[in-house]
A and B are shown apart, each in its own frame.
Chain A
Amino acid sequence: MDFFIGHYNYWIVIILMMVGLYTVISRGNLIKKIIGLNIFQVSVFFLYISLGAVEGGAAPIIAEGVKVYSNPLPHVLILTAIVVGVATTALALALVVRIKESYGTIEEDEIHNLDHSL
């Protein structure tokens, strides 16, 4: 039982990661793929943030009377990764808008048919 509860943060990461990756692979709708990609990325953010947590540690801001701080480095790293994720999502959505404008659909199989029926 401890194996499950003691590592609950990793279980959340694993579940989110699988949900995200499965969505990216299995969905034909381009927007849903992006949503899946976001869930996948969030799972990694979660992994990093939970790595940085120190039991009983306070937020890493110097204050009087606090001895134990959480590790701020993973948080900083993941701030960068979040920004990268935002940029990726924006670019992906922009591409989907252009795909919709030129194909009239955002379903992968329909786009495939349109490309090969010429």
Chain B
Amino acid sequence: MRPNLILHVVAKFVIPLIILFALYVQFHGDFGPGGGFQAGVIFSAAFILYSLVFGLDRAEKIIPARWLRILAALGVVIYAGVGIESMILGGNYLDYSLLGSNQIAGQHLGILLVELGVGITVAAAMLILFFTFAGRGRS
């Protein structure tokens, strides 16, 4: 790939901001608009931008495909695990109230963990989709 200086500099400048914004959307989701789905997509957008600018090979060095699959699975397990945890604590599935010392703290912690799981899975799944389609013609 022909190096393009402006593109590289701008991308290097923008990518951290995108990731920061993704984290904001992720962890501010319980106070304002946001949440795991949106954050996951924004997060993966940073990596997609990176691989568009610097090439697929370098992007895949940062996150190997095998890791992505594990991350995607991990997110679902976190989500379902929170549900199981509240069952173990004697409540119903996904009854966050039991997770904390009081109801509000529990609801807070629960939604944070669940959204984290969603975010991880969505980000990983979007990247898997991108790498699968983009890498199809190479080999």
Complex contact flag A–B (Cβ < 8 Å): yes
How far apart are the CA atoms of A48 and B136 in the complex, in Å?
36
B133 at the interface (CB under 8 A from A): yes
Residues of A within 8 A of B (CB): 59, 61, 79, 83, 90, 93-94, 97
Chain B hits for A83, CB < 8 A: 37
**How many residues does chain B have at the interface if contact means C-beta atoms less than 8 Å apart?**
7
Nearest 5 A-B pairs (CB), nearest first? A90-B129, A97-B136, A61-B32, A83-B37, A79-B37
Residues of B within 8 A of A (CB): 32-33, 37, 129, 132-133, 136
- CB < 8 Å neighbour of A94 from B32, B33, B132: B132
| Cross-chain pair count, CB within 8 angstroms | 11
- CB < 8 Å neighbour of B33 from A61, A90, A93, A97: A61
Question: What DSSP secondary structure best describes chain A's contact surface?
Answer: helix
How far apart are the CA atoms of A79 and B35 in the complex, in Å?
11
Chain A hits for B129, CB < 8 A: 90
Chain A hits for B132, CB < 8 A: 94
How far apart are the CA atoms of A94 and B136 in the complex, in Å?
10
How far apart are the CA atoms of A28 and B33 in the complex, in Å?
41
- CB < 8 Å neighbour of A97 from B32, B37, B133: B133
In the complex, what's the smallest C-beta–C-beta distance from B58 to chain A, in angstroms?
24
Query: Are A93 and B37 neighbours in the complex by a CB distance under 8 Å?
Result: no
Chain A residue nearest to B129 in the complex (CB): A90
In the complex, what's the smallest C-beta–C-beta distance from A84 to chain B, in angstroms?
12
Given contacts A90-B129, A93-B133, A94-B133, 8 further A-B contacts (CB under 8 A): A59-B33, A61-B32, A61-B33, A79-B37, A83-B37, A94-B132, A97-B133, A97-B136
